[in-house]
Structure 1
């Protein structure tokens, strides 16, 4: 059984369904990416996994436990960490205060986790006393990921982590994501940069109009001529 299994997810925001029997799975220590054209339902699928979208059909299990009816807050306590695409830092708070906010559910000493985040993102240690709103876009993304890691998630979900950053910063973020996965944390990521994302992915899910169109390993999807032609620019 996969660590995360979100199967046959069907639902929307009150009107017509956006997701249609969509299934997403991730194993511990694995990177899974959701790609597809604009309007394919990628971010909606991520929100459904996190409990921000009520499902009309389907279910979500985490570590073998059915969490379909848990609130997002309770899913965080169950082991999910979620980094939204926008508005993902407290701009007026310092970098360190942002990270401390990520430890709000913890009652133990989180100093070791803070040190691990600073090891992963050395620039954050350097700028720990600087307001997050003064950082570059790539640095703010590091703060957002670091804050999610402070909860000690078993599953880290990233919605468009490289949106609006330069290619160099994108490569650096992907390197850090690989490092996080190497610690055994499952990674689920929505990405517009499909080619680069599939290049680091263990598995990929290509969505079209809220449905699974292709599901395979990242390498197999990169090599599939239909995927390449339709979604990777040839």
Structure 2
């Protein structure tokens, strides 16, 4: 998906000549120390950063110059680490917001999300801002899935959650991968994440080794 990516901020390159591949139904994980460029790499793939060098492709098409919202329409979804739910809206309203780009009826997809995350069905009318950190992550995850993505990118999905919730989230990630969605995630819990990964990338000083 990303070939020889070089990008950064304020004229300073944070990632340098890295290549990341995501295949259908595959879980790929990016790990590395703080400041290694993990989140920067993901933003480069999403078009949130202008590349100094390299290219991004999707389904064999070059999307390097495509705007982030157009990449979403193609089938690329992203769950940021923070500020990833609408706290003043209910769980179900958050999910509905995720389906805004789709013209067809989304009720069946909402039920699919509730089957994946049963606690969300119980709390469907509760404001997302009142939920625990782990439950918010499930809302954010579910909202991204409402777009019916082909590629799902997760930025530290288990940050700040308990070990039990972390295991549950990883189980759900595996389930989603089995449906054919390609998953790329940045993860601080490296050992656990690599245990479920089909492909792992280690970033150190902005460079990767697979």
TM-score between both structures, scaled by the size of structure 2: 0.99
Note the residue ranges of structure 1 that are not aligned, 5 or more in a row.
Answer: 216-234
Q: Indicate the residue corresponding to 1:30 in structure 2.
A: 26
Q: Deviations over 1:135-171 (max 9, x none)?
A: 0000000000000000000000000000000011000
TM-score between both structures, scaled by the size of structure 1: 0.89
In 2, the alpha carbon distance for the partners of 1:109 and 1:65 equals 29
Give the counterpart of 2:81 among 82, 85, 110: 85
Q: In the alignment, does 2:113 pair up with 1:121? A: no
Counterparts of 1:20-169 in structure 2, within 5 Å, are 20-169=16-165
Q: Indicate the residue corresponding to 2:171 in structure 1.
A: 175
Offset at residue 86 of structure 1 (A) = 0.1
In 2, the alpha carbon distance for the partners of 1:117 and 1:69 equals 32
Offset at residue 204 of structure 1 (A) = 0.2
Offset at residue 88 of structure 1 (A) = 0.1
Q: Indicate the residue corresponding to 1:200 in structure 2.
A: 196
* 4+ residue segments displaced more than 6 Å: none
Offset at residue 116 of structure 1 (A) = 0.6
In 2, the alpha carbon distance for the partners of 1:105 and 1:198 equals 32
Note the residue ranges of structure 2 that are not aligned, 5 or more in a row.
Answer: none
Q: Deviations over 1:177-233 (max 9, x none)?
A: 000000000000000100000000000000001111x20xxxxxxxxxxxxxxxxxx
Counterparts of 1:214-233 in structure 2, within 5 Å, are 214-215=209-210
By relative contact order (CA 8 Å, sep 6+), the higher-ranking structure is 2
RMSD across aligned positions (CA): 0.6
Instruction: State how many pairs are aligned.
Output: 210
In 2, the alpha carbon distance for the partners of 1:159 and 1:67 equals 21
Q: Deviations over 1:13-60 (max 9, x none)?
A: 122111100111010000000000111000000111111111011000
